[in-house]
Amino acid sequence: MTAPDEPPRRLPVPVRLIARETIGSFLTRLAFANSLHVAHLLSLARISRARSFTPATDDTAGWSPSAPDMIAALAGRSLPDLAAAIPLLAGMAPAGTALLRACGHCTAKKNVTGMVITRASPRDYLCARHQQWLRGIHRPSLASLPEVADSQRRHDRRTANVPDQDIARAHRQAQDITSQWLASGWHPALTERWQHRHHRLAAAIPGLEAVLTGVITHPEMLAIARLLITSQRTPGIRPQDIADRLSFPYPGRPHPLDPLHKYLSQ
Amino acid sequence: MVTGDGDRFPLTTREGWERFAGDQPADPKLLAEADLGLLSGADRTAYDHDRADYHSRLVTVATPTVRQVFAAGRRLVLLNRHQVSARRGLIVTGAAGTGKTTAVTQLGRNHELLLRHRLGQQATAGRMPVVYVTVPPAATPKMLAAEFARFAGVPVNNRQQNQADITNAVCDVLSRLRTDLVLVDEIHNLNLATRVGADASDQLKYLAERIPATFVYAGIDIEGSGLFGGTRGQQIAGRFGVISCDPFPYGTAGQRQQWQALIATLEQSLRLHRHEPGQLLRLDAYLHERTDGMIGSLSHLIRGAAVEAVMDGTERITRETLDRVGLDHAAETARTRRKTAAPRRRDSAG
C-alpha cells in the first residue's frame, strides 16, 4: 500500500505519551488503538523482528535506518517529541534501569487503558497517590500500610538534590542490609515490626502467600539509604543516629559483622 | 517527519478531507488601475496567477438543493444520535452535474465546522466527525471496507487481512473517533443485479449498523438503478429519505428568477478589472441554453471564462469569452439537440 521510500500516513487514533515508556509498550499501544496487529505495525515501521517483540522490548534489534522516522510518522508526532518520552529513541541504546509496569490508575487518568511498561527511575517503587506497590509480580495495595507510602514521600523530599546514580547505589546497599537483617533476624525489634507489617498486608490481601520482602522493609530500606548517602558526605555516623533514624534500639556497640556497621566502616 | 499536509491527498482521505473542511481560500483584492500600472512584470504575473487560482475555485453557491440537503442531513444526525439501531439515512440522487457531490460534501464540511465551533479545535483534534468515501466500480465488500480504511488511514494488508479483519478494524477505529456522519458517493456503482454488488450493498448496510453514524448516499439516478428493489431494497427504501437534484428549470418567471439569482451570486464573486456587474446576468438565457440548467456546467463555464479573461488580459466575461470555453459532453449534446429540434418545431408550427 505504501511505496518503500514514502513516509507512511499518520495512524488515525493517536496515543498519549507516557514518560520513560519502552518502545515495545508504545508500539503495542499504538497498534491496539488502531486495531492493527503488532506485526503489521512493525512492518510499516520497517522493523523486522515481529516474533520476539513484546511490550517489554526496549532495543533496536531488527530496525532499519528509517525506523525512527517511520515510527514518528505513524504516531503523528515529531521525533524529538517522541524521544523526550521514550528513552530508547533519545539515545538509540537501551536504558540500564529496571522495567516497571506503570500505575494503572495513573495511566487510566490519562485515558490509557492498556498496560504500560516503563523504564523505572531509582526512586520508582510505588505510586504514592494511589497507594500501589509497583515492583515485582505482586503489586499489592498499600492502603493497609500507610507508613510505606509516607516513607517514600519523605525520602523523595529529602533526597531531591541527590543524583540518580547515588540514589541507585545507596538503595542497592540498603536492600542488601535489610534483606540480611530480615533473613538472619539481626534485630528482634525490627523483625517483629516487619512481621507485623506482613500480617497486616496478608490480612488485606487474602491468598497472597508470598512474603513481600521489598514492601515490608521499604521504610527502613529508605532510611538506611539516606544514612549511607549522609555518611558519604559527612562520615562519622553514631549508633544513636541510626537508632533515631530507624526508630528501634540499635546497639551502642554494633556487632562487627552487622551489615550496616560494615558498610559504614568502609 | 509528520505527513500532515493534505496537498497530496485526495478528498477521499482523512488528510484531504481535513484540508477541504478547513480551507478558507484567500479573496484577492482588486488593485486600482493606477496601482496596477506600478506593478513590475513579475509582480503582475503573481497578481494574475493569484486571481486565476481564485477563479478556478470561485465560490460554492448555497443553492436550494444544497440548503435542503444540509437541513435534512443535520436533522438526521441529531435524530440518530441516540438511536441504537435502524438509523435513518439520506439519499441524494439526480443526473450528472446537478450538484450532488457538492451538496453532500458541503453537508459534511458544515457539520465538521459546526462541531469544531461548538467543542473547540482542541476537543475535536482526536475526532473524525465525517467520513467521505466513493464506491469503486464493481465494488466487492472487501473493496468497500478498504475504501473506509483508506479514508481513515488504517493501513490495509490485502494479502494478510480478510474482509472481516478490515471491516472490524474500520468499525473499531471509526467508533473510537466518534464518526457521526458517513458520506458515500457514487453509490450507483453498486449493481444490485449481480451477486458481488448485492454483497457490497449488504456490507454497506452492515457498516451502517456497526458505525454509530448517519449515512448519506449520493449517486446518479438511484431510483432507476434498482437500489430500492427486492428485499434489500425495501429495507433501504424504508430507512432512507430521498432528495432529488434536478437541473435548474427556466420556464416560469419564478424559475428564471432563481436561475438569475444563482448567476448573480457567481458574478458577484468575480475579481475582474473591466467586468461590469450585471453583464453576466444579461446573458442568463444564453447561459441556461449552454448549460441546460446544470449547476456543475454553469460553474465550470463561468470559472473557465474568468480564468480566460485574466489570462488574455480582457478582464471581462463576454458572450465571446463564454463561447470559447468548451463544456462537458452532456451539456454540449443537449445544446445541439435543442438547436436541431427548435427549427423542426418552427417548421411543424408553420
Cβ separation B153–A10 shorter than 8 A: yes
Residues B239 and B257 placed together within one structural domain of the fold: no
* Residue A38 C-alpha from the chain's centroid: 25
B347 or B229, greater pLDDT: B229
Whether ipTM tops 0.90, in short, is no
C-alpha cell at B70: 444540509
| B152 vs A8, A12, A33: nearest CB | A12
Q: Give CA–CA dist B15/B116, Å, rounded.
A: 16
CB-based contacts of A261, cutoff 8 Å, min separation 6: A254, A255
Whether B101 and B141 share a structural domain: yes
Q: What is the per-residue burial (b if ≥16 Cβ within 10 Å, else e) of A209-241?
A: eeebbbbbbbbbbbbbbbbbbebeeeeebebee
Which parts of A107-147 are beta strand (E)? 117-119, 126-127, 132-133
Whether residue B86 sits in one domain with residue B132 = yes
- B154 in contact with A, Cβ within 8 Å: yes
State whether B153 and A11 contact (CB < 8 Å).
yes
Single residue among B228, B245, B262 that ends a domain in this structure:
B245
Query: A29-64, pLDDT tens digit by residue?
Result: 999 999 999 999 999 999 997 788 999 999 999 999
- Partner-chain residue, chosen from A14, A36, A73, that has the shortest CB–CB distance to B3: A73
Distance in angstroms (rounded) separating the CA atoms of residues A19 and A90:
12
B254 shares its domain with B233: no
A-chain residues near B173 (CB < 8 A): 12-13, 34-35
Residues of B in contact with A17 (CB under 8 A): none
Q: Are B43 and B73 contained in the same domain? A: no
Evaluate whether residue B120 is within a structural domain: yes
The pLDDT tens digits for A118-166 are: 998 888 999 999 999 998 877 888 999 999 999 999 999 999 999 988 9
What span, in angstroms and rounded, lies between the C-alpha atoms of A26 and A81?
13
Residues B201 and B224 in one domain: yes
Q: At a CB cut-off of 8 Å and minimum separation 6, what does B350 contact?
A: none
More confident residue, A136 or A5: A136
- Please indicate, yes or no, if residue B278 is contained in any of the structural domains: yes
Residues of A in contact with B156 (CB under 8 A): 1
Shortest Cα distance, chain B CAs vs residue A113, angstroms: 13
Q: What percent of chain B has pLDDT over 70?
A: 93
- Output the pLDDT for position B145: 95
pLDDT digits (tens, 9 = 90+) for B207-225: 998 999 999 999 998 877 7
Distance, in angstroms, between A121 CA and closest chain B CA? 30
Tell whether B7 is covered by a domain: no
Closest-CA distance, A78 to chain B, in angstroms, reads 6
Residues 72-101 (A) with a CB less than 8 A from some CB of B: 72-73, 76-79
More confident residue, B306 or B6: B306
Contact A8 B2 (CB under 8 A): no
Q: Which residue has the higher pLDDT, B33 or B139?
A: B139
Instruction: Let me know whether B180 and B314 are in one domain.
Output: no
Which CATH number covers residue B188?
Answer: 3.40.50.300
Pair (B178, B200) in one structural domain: yes
Least CB–CB distance from A78: residue in B2, B158, B160: B2
In a domain, B345, yes or no: no
* pLDDT confidence bin for B7, thresholds 50/70/90: low
Percentage of chain B exceeding pLDDT 90: 45
In a domain, B347, yes or no: no
pLDDT tens digits along B319-341: 988 988 877 776 677 777 777 76
Cβ atoms < 10 Å from Cβ of A165: 10
pLDDT-based confidence at residue B237 (cuts at 50, 70, 90): confident
Residue B1 located in a structural domain:
no
pLDDT of residue B1: 37
Per-residue model confidence as pLDDT tens digits over B282-296: 999 999 988 889 888
Using CA atoms, how far residue B46 sits from A248, B37, B260, B326, in Å, is 85, 14, 33, 26
Could you tell me how many CB contacts below 8 A there are between chain A and chain B? 65
Q: Does A12 reach chain B within 8 Å, measured CB to CB?
A: yes
Q: Is the pLDDT of residue A208 over 70?
A: no
Nearest to A192 by CA among A247, A253, A255: A247
Facing residue for A34 by CB, picked from B1, B15, B173: B173
Interface test with B, best of A5, A10, A13 (most B CBs within 10 A): A13
**A7: nearest CB among B3, B152, B156:** B3
How close is the nearest chain A Cα to the Cα of B204, in Å? 20
Question: What is the rounded CA–CA span in Å between residue B190 and residue B134?
Answer: 11
Domain of residue B273 covers: 14-59+250-339
Mark which of B226, B245, B264 sits at the end of a domain: B245
Contact B77, B181 (CB under 8 A): yes
Question: In angstroms, what separates the C-alpha of B154 from chain A's closest C-alpha?
Answer: 6
Quick check: B202 and B234 in contact, CB under 8 A?
Answer: no
**B177 in any annotated domain:** yes
Distance CA A13, CA A170 (A): 43
Q: Residues with Cβ < 8 Å from A42, sequence gap 6 or more?
A: A27, A48, A49, A50, A53
pLDDT bin (cut points 50, 70, 90) of residue B5 is: low
Residue, of B5 and B204, whose pLDDT is higher: B204
pLDDT of B4 over the 80 cut: no
Confidence of residue A254 (pLDDT cuts 50, 70, 90): confident
A155-198 pLDDT, tens digit each: 999 999 999 889 999 999 999 999 999 988 889 999 999 999 99
**Would you say residue A6 has pLDDT above 90?**
no
Asked whether the beta carbons of residue A35 and residue B154 sit closer than 8 angstroms, the reply is yes
* Same-domain check for residues B289 and B232: no
pLDDT interval class at B342 (50, 70, 90): low
Q: A42 CB near a chain B CB, below 8 Å?
A: no
| Strand, coil or helix: B247 | coil
Which of the listed residues B245, B278, B302 is the one where a domain comes to its end?
B245
Q: Does A10 touch chain B (CB under 8 A)?
A: yes
Same domain, B24 and B69: no
Question: Residue B240 in 3-state DSSP?
Answer: strand
Instruction: Provide the domain count of chain B.
Output: 2
- The answer, for B146 touching chain A at a CB cutoff of 8 Å, is no
The C-alpha of B114 sits at a distance from chain A's nearest C-alpha, in angstroms, of 21
Smallest Cα distance from A127 to chain B, Å:
29
How does residue B350 score in pLDDT terms, banded at 50, 70 and 90?
very low
How much is the pLDDT for B257? Answer: 92
- Name chain B contacts of A13, Cβ cutoff 8 Å: 126, 173, 176-177
Are B255 and B239 within one domain? Answer: no
CB–CB of A11 and B3 under 8 A?
no
Reported as a pLDDT band with limits 50, 70 and 90, residue A222 is: very high
> Within a domain: residue B2?
no
* A66 touching chain B per CB within 8 A: no
Closest CA to A181 of A262, A237, A258, A252: A258
Stretch B184-200: mean pLDDT: 88
- Tell me whether A9 touches chain B (CB under 8 Å): yes
Q: Which of B1, B154, B161 sits opposite A72 (nearest CB)?
A: B1
CB-nearest partner of A10 from B2, B126, B161: B2
* Nearest by Cα to A26 from A62, A76, A65, A64: A76
Q: Which of B128, B153, B155 sits opposite A40 (nearest CB)?
A: B155
Answer yes or no: do B23 and B69 share one domain: no
pLDDT confidence of residue B345:
47
Chain B interface includes A16 (CB < 8 A): no
User: Residue A69 is nearest to which of B1, B15, B160, comparing CB atoms?
Assistant: B1
Q: For residue B21, is pLDDT > 80?
A: yes
Yes or no, beta carbons of B2 and A2 under 8 Å apart: no
